[in-house]
Structure 1
Amino acid sequence: MSASPHTLTPVGRSLRLLVLGIGAAVMLFPYVWMIATSFKPQAEVFSSGLSLIPEHSSILANYGKALGRIPMGRVLLNGVVVCLAIVVFQIAFALPAAYALAKLRFRGRDLMFGLVILGLLIPIHAVSIPMFAAFRALGLINTLAGLVVPFTLSVFAVFLFRQFIKAMPDDLIHAGRMDGLSEGAIVRRIVLPNAWPAATAFAIFSVVTHWNDLYWPSIVISKTELATPPLGVLFFRAAEAGDDYGALMAATVIVTAPLVVFFLFAQKAFIEGITMTGLKG
């Protein structure tokens, strides 16, 4: 068993903090270097030195290019709309399915859960070509709906919620039935309020995944005004930035900053949700 924090010696605590500090520095260094590069003029980006602090600041020029040469506000808004729509649909569809798999008894339940597990093994890359053909036939290419629809059903959400709901006391469900609630009402009024930790944890997973997704948007979107944040950076580099890495890093900082702020505000709920879903099976 791992030692409790209260049983560690001062030397042990210092070593643990040292290891965690080194790990944090390694993880944060690329982001710090990206921010530092966004402050530098082009000549300093390719200099032989490794200084984080620029000798001549080019903040206004770099961020002015990033904000002025593509509709950055529209790109960020597209990311918010797409991620929010996806996570709302995912939770709305996955929660009832997870409740049925966790608390209802019916023939084929274990087989259906096995199919959910199997679905976790199928990446979107394997089905992207037939999906693109279907979306082109339906007229969903170059639309925000084309970015949302493929991800409205999440087998990972079903799996995560099922693990959480299975650990809920059956007495809560039975009490709702005795009060005359339908199964749908039980999901809305009993399961959903108690499943917020799992829903919050999944929402962070979903937002991070789809905010950073470049593969599917690059397939269905070719218009700058419909681009999501990563695709907007790609369009910016192709059309304006070229080898101007200071401006390119400025654009990257702009599109990653909302995600960092979002995670910092939600990290407590994220850790709580992961802990509660991970310890109960």
Structure 2
Amino acid sequence: MKKNPIWKFVNGIGMLLLICIFAMPFVWMISTSFKTLGETMTFPPKWIPNQLLWENFSKAWNSGPFLKYLMNSTIVSVGILILQFATIIPAAYAFARYRFKGSNFFFGVTMVTLMIPSQLIFLPVFLQMSSWGLLDTLWALILPFASSAFGIFLLRQSFKQVPEELLEAARLDQASEWKIIMKIMVPMAKPVLITFGMFSFIAHWNDYFWPLVMTTTDASRTLPLGITKLREVDGGVAWNILMAGNLILVIPILFIFFFAQRQIIRAFVYTGVK
């Protein structure tokens, strides 16, 4: 059945409006990162700078040990992702394909943790990291996120869609449970794993609160904390330098999204969450 042309027009205008609303802050950040400080203060706002000031990026980069911040952010985000994959894959497989005593209870407890914000539990975790002597180290930023209730839930839903007959055939061929996970379950859940991996990486790459409470020196601080120091450049809030620093923070995320977007679409369109 053909759609009404008027409805198609209204729908198109609505989608264009939503795109503009969500894209405007990002476009403004890019524009501001190339402006002079004076151009950031003009009213009405000036979207296109008179001259592209590339030195804003070098000034932001040289305002602190940004290479160290970048390395720390990469180590923390990738380290968390590796540990999460190592924990959520077997946990999701157990919840999806086995029925053991208390399985529903333990899965319910796992889901309850989704409702507890990290800000609520940071104090006991902080004390635990302190007792282990891990404060102001990268381990204090990695270990508290070694697993993910959301990842277990998402992957469990994907594993439940794999036909039981396929697993029985593998067991008849003397395949171990670990081989079934790695050779059958993980490849079939690849779009979901990539989607979760991207969400997790972005969340911890942009995390500000946890590094703020767990670190005290530049040796273990990450990019979001480094960006806040740009407020002190040139003796005041230099919005052009601050936006240049934020663009440096965002660029890796854009690359990840660009390469992962097809898998994200597959995860939600073809496999879905049922």
Structure 1 residues 240, 230: closer, same or farther in 2, change over 3 A? Answer: farther
Could you list the runs of 5+ residues in structure 1 that have no partner in the other structure?
1-5
Q: Aligned to 1:27, which of 17, 22, 28? A: 22
1:262-277 paired onto structure 2 within 5 Å: 262-277=256-271
Q: Counterpart of 1:95?
A: 89
TM-score (norm 1): 0.91
Q: Counterpart of 1:256?
A: 250
Residue type at the aligned position of 2:146 = T
Residue 100 of structure 2 corresponds to residue 106 of structure 1 = yes
Residue 156 of structure 2 corresponds to residue 162 of structure 1 = yes
Q: Counterpart of 1:221?
A: 215
Give the secondary structure class of the aligned counterpart of 1:54: coil
Q: How many residues align?
A: 274
Residue 145 of structure 2 corresponds to residue 151 of structure 1 = yes
Give the secondary structure class of the aligned counterpart of 1:208: helix
Counterparts of 2:85 and 2:30 in 1: how far apart (Å)? Answer: 35
Equivalent residues of 2:230, 2:241 under 8 A apart: no
Moved over 4 A (4+): 238-241
Equivalent residues of 1:163, 1:277 under 8 A apart: no
TM-score (norm 2): 0.93
Deviation at 1:240?
A: 6.3
1:150-229 paired onto structure 2 within 5 Å: 150-229=144-223
Residue type at the aligned position of 1:44 = E
Deviation at 1:88?
A: 1.6
Counterparts of 1:84 and 1:131 in 2: how far apart (Å)? Answer: 21
Q: Counterpart of 2:8?
A: 13
Residue type at the aligned position of 1:123 = P
Structure 1 residues 241, 60: closer, same or farther in 2, change over 3 A? Answer: farther
Deviation at 1:180?
A: 1.4
Q: Aligned to 1:133, which of 127, 133, 157? A: 127
Structure 1 residues 42, 58: closer, same or farther in 2, change over 3 A? Answer: farther
Q: Counterpart of 2:236?
A: 242
Counterparts of 2:268 and 2:225 in 1: how far apart (Å)? Answer: 30
Give the secondary structure class of the aligned counterpart of 1:143: coil
Residue 49 of structure 2 corresponds to residue 54 of structure 1 = yes
Q: Counterpart of 2:79?
A: 85
Could you list the runs of 5+ residues in structure 2 that have no partner in the other structure?
none
Equivalent residues of 1:87, 1:206 under 8 A apart: yes
Deviation at 1:218?
A: 0.7
Residue type at the aligned position of 2:79 = A
Q: Counterpart of 1:44?
A: 39
Tell me how large the CA RMSD over aligned residues is.
1.8
Equivalent residues of 1:236, 1:248 under 8 A apart: yes
Structure 1 residues 153, 67: closer, same or farther in 2, change over 3 A? Answer: same
Give the secondary structure class of the aligned counterpart of 2:115: coil
Residue type at the aligned position of 2:243 = M
